[in-house]
Structure 1
Amino acid sequence: MIYEIRKFTDSTYFTNALKVTIAAVIPVLLFSFLDNFEIGFTIALGAFFTYPSDIPSNLKHKINGILFTSFLVAGVNLLVNIVHPYSWVFYPFLALLIFLLSMISVYGQRATMVSFSALLAVSLAFAHLHTGWEMLQYSGLILVGGLFYLLISLIFHYIRPHRYIELQIAECIKLTAKYLKLRGDLWTINADKKAIIEKQLHLQVELNTIRQNIREVLISSHTTSGSSNQNRKMLIVFISLTEILELALSTSFDHDKLHQKFDDHPKVLLTYQSLAYNLAASLKQLSKSIQNKTKYISKHTLLSDLNALQLAITDYESDLGKNSASEGVFMLTTMLQYAEKQVEKIKIVERAFTLAINSLDFKGKDKDLEKFLTPQYYPLSTLIQNLSFSSTIFRHSLRLTITILIGFIIGNILPFHNVYWILLTILVIMRPGYGLTKQRSFHRIFGTILGGLIAFGVLSLVHNSIAISVLSIICMLLGFSFTQTNYKISATFVTMYIVFIYGILAPNITDVIQYRILDTIVGATLAFLANHFLWPSWEFLNIPIYLEKSIKANQNYLKEISIFYNKKGSVSTSYRLARKNAFIEIGNLMASFQRMVQEPKSKQKQLPQVYKLAILNHSLLSSSASLGTYIQSHKTTSASDAFNVVVDTVIKNLDNAIALLKENDLDLKENLAKEDLAMRFSELKNIRAKELKEGIPIDEEAFQLKMQEAQLVIEQLIWLTNLSENIVKTTKELIAT
């Protein structure tokens, strides 16, 4: 229990909530003491409006983002107050303002949060409308609140400048450990492979998000501010974690075949599974150590586990005899080499947190790092290109604008207490996707009702204004802390906080609770209906785009692997970028599938085919990574013409799948006859056999490595070809239904 509380209070979400709570509470307390509560409350609103834009990034981007948001929220508040008295121009102005602020989201995550902050300011502007000099004074105080929040955020940054990235790295280590644990689960007899692969795909979505956060902070700080020891250490860890995940994905064993082959020798596989679990356990332990800020002492002797596996392989070879055991030894040796590489990578991560950093570990790893970041520029052309119904953000902006206008009109026509609560509910709940909007609608209503009831009960028993003030601050802190992780709990605490504030300021608390619940229900209902009927963004419409991107990313990755196999040398930046994009796009595809599952059954079109294509793309990435990892870590022979022909065939199959998704044409012709492809595989095998026959090396180890290359390359090429053919086949099924 203590560990969980400590973990929660040390989390980024709690820290951000603490920043905005401090930035809001200090002005209120200070100006209340000076008998100017309204001024303090307005400054607190400015901090509240600005805080969403404070997302993880390097210091320069943080300052620029918060400054821009501070001026924007003050500016839109002033504009709303200026135009509001002129009803003939106010509604067109409000519609245009909401639409343009919503469209800012086309520029990425930071822009999305800036957009949200500005829309919050528009919604809450109707709570305090002013005229004359008061307009400027009120907007000026909101600006002061935003600047004060920036000051608090910078203080937190300088107190613990590296804590955010440490926690993100710790979370990335934990998720990577989970992935390795799932790899170990595959060695269980009669394991549910489908369920395990699905869990791996879900993990890939989480890993994509957290790795992007780490890149934005680590790499941008490295390229703009130089490389400190701490920054270098974290970069080494991050790059090693990426390599650990690639190794785990790349080593795709045929578990059924291995179980059949070693049924009479279960010790070998059990020893390997134990090692696989200990790889995961070591990373999990390291993650906890970073989170708790305790000294890391490894509990797992990975080198002893490797020795145990080596002995098990030796015993297996002794039991069967050298000739009979040769194929099995090749398979087991591949598994051992994979484990050795993982142990090596894990030891680098462990050393980063236990010893002084070794500059040799970092040598060459910072080459072209800035290319792995999303560019930070905002051309007008991006906005113009998205001004069409083909853009999800355009449809969402239009939908949000209409819904807020309807909510505003309903709130003014009918006797609602606070129209801005309706607008705020619509803004907070509405998301581009139907599933998330539906979920947040229910969570918001549930949290509002529960929070209202709890707050009413507390106010019935507690009548001390100081005690209620303390409770409101605690509820504010907890409400903001849970916003990203559990919206139901967040809505409960935020409602309690608002009711407590009104409990201090106004005696009619029952009316406040009733109106808040009513306004929340109206806003949530409007948001839900709008997402269902106003140009809905059903996920099945976006699936072909995500599929095409995933297939294209896999294709580019395979091309880079082929180039590397032909040319040898060092791994190029284009290779690493292709690998990164392949990982990202498979995660994006799975995230799209997850959103699709949340939608109505009638809109879950071709769900089985979409899921099958996600699995096939994941398997294709695994097979490609297996080939790429092998040729990176072994001295390989020259690539033959047959190898290039087979790879070209796979690439052309993927071209076919992309063309099917783009052109919806079921009559695309095969690029290579089956007989020709079969002949090429025979040719590849014959080349390898001839190479071995003509010059079997005296060095037994070198001979085994060459045999291993022949076996692995041919197996992966066969697997890649089959997967690419299945992708084409399933894509045809998808567009035919």
Structure 2
Amino acid sequence: MNRQLQKFLESTDFIRAVKVTVAAATPVILFSYLDLFSIGFTVALGALFTFISDIPGNLRHRVNGMLASNLIATGSTVIISLAAISHWIFYPVLILLVFFLSMIAVYGHRATLVSFSGLLAMSLSFSHSYTGWALLEHAGFMIGGGLFYLCISMIFYFIRPYRYAELQMAECILLTSKYLKLRGRLWDTHANRDKITEKLLTLQIELNDIHENLRETLIRNRTKGGSSNQNRRLLIAHIELVEILELAMATSFDHEKLHQTFSRHPYVLNAYRHLAYNLAALLNQLGQSVEKRKKYTSVHHPFKDLESFKKAIDRYEAETNTDIRTTDEVLVLTNMFNYVEKQVEKIKVVEYTFTHAINPHDLKRKDRELEKLLTPIHYAPITLTQNFSFSSTIFRHSLRLTLTILVGFLVGNVLPIQNTYWILLTIVVIMRPGYGLTKQRSFHRTIGTLAGGIIAFGIISVVHNSTVLGILAMTCMVLGFSFSQRNYPIGATFITLYVIFVYGMLTPDIRDVILFRIADTLIGTILAFTANHFLWPSWEFLSLPTFLENSIKATRDYIKEISVFYNRKGEVPLPYRLARKHAFIEIGNLMASFQRMTQEPRSRQKQLGQYYALVVLNHTLLSSAASMGAFIQSRKTTKASEAFNVITGAIINNLDNAMRLLNEEQQNNISVDTVEVKEMLKLRFTELKEIREKEIMASNGIYDDNFKLKMEEGQLIIEHLIGLTNLSENIVKAVRDIGKSR
């Protein structure tokens, strides 16, 4: 419990909550002593709107995002106040403003938060109308509040400039540890491999997000402002962790077959599993030390575990009287040993970066063109205009949100509602482009509001002291913003408590406030949920084929780069690393899309089982590709044969066909003669095996190290190609079956 509490107090969410509470509470307290509460409250609003887009990342982007939030929120308030002069002007302006603010989200996550800030400010502007000089003063104080929050945020940043990156790195190490442990569990005879695969896919989504955050923070900071020792340390660890993930994915073996093969020699697989668990435990310990900023002292000895695994292989070889490294079983074990040896080396590098001083030259070999690994950010106007189409999810969401807010405003004016803007706030907070997330937030918001209202009613009935209510309000504000991202129902509960306590200090009829708060939330929730269900809904079964196509394409490009690398040799080129990054990201996006689909109504979960089978197939394909890529990287390989290139070309062609089928092209447009292709591939596989047999015969029984490596390479490359070929054919078949059942 102490560790969880410390982790919570060190978390980015809690620190952000503390910053906004300080920035919002300070002006309210100071101006209240001067009997200028309204000014203090306006300054606090400016701080709150600026805080929304203050998410970690590159410093320049953070500052620009906060300034944009402050200006857009202030501008939205001014526009609504000016438009309220005339009904003829007001409604067109409201419609255009909400639509424009919603469309800003096309520029990415930070822009989405800037958009959210503007929409919140627009909603709150209905709580009080300003005109003339009072409007200018109100806008000035909002800008001042935003700048005040910006200053506080920068103070926190410069006190601990790398703390966010350290926490993200710790989380990345811990998740990688969890990933390795799950991989290790696959070797358990009684393991539920389907369930483990599902968990691995979910972890892939989390790891993709953290890798992207670390790239954005570490590489952009290094590119723009030089590189400190700590930045170099974290960057080296990040690069190695990405490769550790690739190696973890590369250990994709047929576990059931291996258990059958080594059923009489269980000590072999047990030694491998023990090693995998210990590597996961080492990373877990390291992640916790980085998180707590404590000195790391390893209690694990991976090289000893590696030696134990090697002895187990030697023992198996001696007991079965096999020729030196010529049997398939020993080759498989040797391959497993080589993968895990490489993984141990990389884990030790990560361990070293946090226990020793880092030389600036340590990064020179690794950081060539690192900035090219960053996801490009474009704010060109054409990005906005390209999304003016019903094929754009953001465009449909913008129309849906605009119409819902308009209806919410009219409902608030027709019904005897005390604060119409609470309906609008609820709509803005709950509505998301996807049905599943909107449904989830609707439920959580309702639960949180009801719970907060009931708790607040009980407290207000007993506590009448304004100072106590003020302390409770600030405490709830910190907890509310801390939990908003972690646990939305709890966050909504504390935010409701915070709002009611503030009203409790200002108005005597607090019970009416609670009732209206609950009623307005329910109205807003019903409107948001209904709109997402009936107004141009973004059902996931419509977009899932696109995510599937993107994932297949990214994996195809990755296989292409592996083939190029095998032909050219040398150091791992940048295009290979880029292709690997995109393949990992797209399989995560595909799984995220599938998860959203499972949250939608059953009537909209079309071909759910078939799509899940394709998700798993594509993940297995990526694992197999990573396995071959890792093997080629870790060995000095021979010249690629023509047969290798022909077979990889056939695999790539299969994946191209799958993408064409997803685009609903006619089968006769796909220039593939299945029978001829299969016969050709058989000949090519036979050719590869004949090459291997000729080399065995040419050795005349002399099994030197060079010969052994050639035999391993030949056997393992053939196995990888067979696996990739079968998987690519299965993907084509599965896609074709989906097309037939549409």
- Bin of the TM-score, shorter chain as denominator length: over 0.9
Partner of 1:160: 160
Would you say 1:208 and 2:212 are equivalent positions? no
What are the superposed Cα offsets for residues 322-371 of structure 1, whole Å, 9 maximum, x if unpaired?
A: 33984332222211111211111111111111111144542321111111
In the alignment, residue 11 of structure 1 is paired with which amino acid? S
Alignment of 1:415-426 (within 5 A): 415-426=416-427
Q: What is the SS of the residue equivalent to 1:536?
A: coil
Would you say 1:673 and 2:674 are equivalent positions? no
Q: What is the SS of the residue equivalent to 1:663?
A: coil
Q: Distance in 2 between matches of 1:614 and 1:525?
A: 34
In the alignment, residue 722 of structure 2 is paired with which amino acid? I
CA contact (8 A) 2:339 2:631 kept: no
Q: Distance in 1 between matches of 2:532 and 2:312?
A: 59
Q: What is the SS of the residue equivalent to 2:50?
A: helix
What are the superposed Cα offsets for residues 670-721 of structure 1, whole Å, 9 maximum, x if unpaired?
A: 2552111111111111122223333469563322211111111001101111
Partner of 2:705: 701
CA contact (8 A) 2:699 2:707 kept: no
Alignment of 1:345-494 (within 5 A): 345-494=346-495
Would you say 1:545 and 2:546 are equivalent positions? yes
Would you say 1:719 and 2:723 are equivalent positions? yes
Partner of 1:183: 183
Would you say 1:643 and 2:644 are equivalent positions? yes
Would you say 1:193 and 2:197 are equivalent positions? no
Flag structure 1 segments of 5+ consecutive residues without an equivalent: none
Distance 1:530 1:83, change over 3 A: same
Q: What is the SS of the residue equivalent to 1:673?
A: helix
CA contact (8 A) 1:53 1:117 kept: yes
Q: Distance in 1 between matches of 2:311 and 2:685?
A: 35
What are the superposed Cα offsets for residues 464-494 of structure 1, whole Å, 9 maximum, x if unpaired?
A: 2111110000000000001111110011000
Would you say 1:732 and 2:736 are equivalent positions? yes
In the alignment, residue 101 of structure 2 is paired with which amino acid? L
Q: What is the SS of the residue equivalent to 1:300?
A: coil
Of 360-369 and 111-120, the range deviating more from structure 2: 360-369
Q: Distance in 2 between matches of 1:286 and 1:106?
A: 38
Alignment of 1:138-287 (within 5 A): 138-287=138-287
CA contact (8 A) 1:56 1:216 kept: no
Q: Distance in 1 between matches of 2:394 and 2:348?
A: 44
Q: Distance in 2 between matches of 1:664 and 1:285?
A: 52
What are the superposed Cα offsets for residues 85-139 of structure 1, whole Å, 9 maximum, x if unpaired?
A: 1101110110000001100011111111110111111011101211111111111
Q: Distance in 1 between matches of 2:582 and 2:377?
A: 18
In the alignment, residue 425 of structure 1 is paired with which amino acid? T
CA contact (8 A) 2:23 2:44 kept: yes
| Cα displacement (A) at 1:263 | 0.9
Q: What is the SS of the residue equivalent to 1:169?
A: helix
Q: Distance in 1 between matches of 2:221 and 2:738?
A: 44
In the alignment, residue 386 of structure 1 is paired with which amino acid? N
Of 4-13 and 351-360, the range deviating more from structure 2: 351-360
Of 661-670 and 202-211, the range deviating more from structure 2: 661-670
Count of matched residue pairs: 737
In the alignment, residue 718 of structure 2 is paired with which amino acid? I
Partner of 1:130: 130
Q: What is the SS of the residue equivalent to 2:52?
A: helix
Alignment of 1:57-136 (within 5 A): 57-136=57-136
CA contact (8 A) 1:330 1:704 kept: no
Q: Distance in 1 between matches of 2:509 and 2:684?
A: 84
Q: Distance in 1 between matches of 2:711 and 2:232?
A: 39
CA contact (8 A) 1:120 1:424 kept: yes
Partner of 1:28: 28
CA contact (8 A) 2:43 2:142 kept: yes
CA contact (8 A) 2:417 2:516 kept: yes
Partner of 1:288: 288
In the alignment, residue 124 of structure 2 is paired with which amino acid? L
Q: Distance in 2 between matches of 1:166 and 1:686?
A: 53
In the alignment, residue 670 of structure 1 is paired with which amino acid? V
Distance 1:596 1:696, change over 3 A: farther
In the alignment, residue 463 of structure 1 is paired with which amino acid? H
CA contact (8 A) 2:540 2:597 kept: yes
Q: Distance in 2 between matches of 1:461 and 1:735?
A: 64
What are the superposed Cα offsets for residues 368-400 of structure 1, whole Å, 9 maximum, x if unpaired?
A: 111111223311111111000000000000000
Q: Distance in 1 between matches of 2:331 and 2:732?
A: 33
Q: Distance in 1 between matches of 2:184 and 2:377?
A: 40
| Cα displacement (A) at 1:207 | 0.8
Alignment of 1:48-59 (within 5 A): 48-59=48-59
Partner of 1:560: 561
Would you say 1:685 and 2:689 are equivalent positions? yes
Q: Identity across aligned pairs (percent)?
A: 59
CA contact (8 A) 2:324 2:703 kept: no
Would you say 1:306 and 2:310 are equivalent positions? no
Q: What is the SS of the residue equivalent to 1:388?
A: coil
CA contact (8 A) 1:47 1:148 kept: yes
Q: Distance in 2 between matches of 1:487 and 1:621?
A: 34
Alignment of 1:32-51 (within 5 A): 32-51=32-51
Of 488-497 and 261-270, the range deviating more from structure 2: 261-270
CA contact (8 A) 1:696 1:703 kept: no
Q: Distance in 2 between matches of 1:408 and 1:736?
A: 46
**TM-score under structure 2 length normalisation:** 0.98
In the alignment, residue 464 of structure 2 is paired with which amino acid? H
Q: Distance in 1 between matches of 2:695 and 2:702?
A: 14
Q: Distance in 2 between matches of 1:270 and 1:188?
A: 9
Q: What is the SS of the residue equivalent to 1:406?
A: helix
What are the superposed Cα offsets for residues 251-280 of structure 1, whole Å, 9 maximum, x if unpaired?
A: 212212221121111111111111100010
Q: Distance in 1 between matches of 2:548 and 2:586?
A: 9
Of 691-700 and 493-502, the range deviating more from structure 2: 691-700
| Cα displacement (A) at 1:57 | 1.5
Of 504-513 and 324-333, the range deviating more from structure 2: 324-333
Q: Distance in 2 between matches of 1:53 and 1:692?
A: 64
Q: Distance in 1 between matches of 2:426 and 2:5?
A: 30
In the alignment, residue 498 of structure 2 is paired with which amino acid? Y
Partner of 2:515: 514
Q: Distance in 2 between matches of 1:460 and 1:308?
A: 68
Q: What is the SS of the residue equivalent to 1:554?
A: helix
Q: Distance in 2 between matches of 1:590 and 1:153?
A: 35
Q: Distance in 1 between matches of 2:603 and 2:47?
A: 43
Q: Distance in 1 between matches of 2:146 and 2:569?
A: 54
CA contact (8 A) 2:229 2:360 kept: no
Distance 1:697 1:535, change over 3 A: farther
CA contact (8 A) 1:650 1:721 kept: yes
In the alignment, residue 610 of structure 2 is paired with which amino acid? Q
| Cα displacement (A) at 1:190 | 3.1
Partner of 1:323: 323
What are the superposed Cα offsets for residues 132-178 of structure 1, whole Å, 9 maximum, x if unpaired?
A: 11111111111111111100100000111010000000001111111
CA contact (8 A) 1:664 1:735 kept: no
Q: Distance in 2 between matches of 1:228 and 1:147?
A: 28
Q: Distance in 2 between matches of 1:655 and 1:366?
A: 33
CA RMSD of aligned residues (A): 1.3
Q: Distance in 1 between matches of 2:277 and 2:306?
A: 12
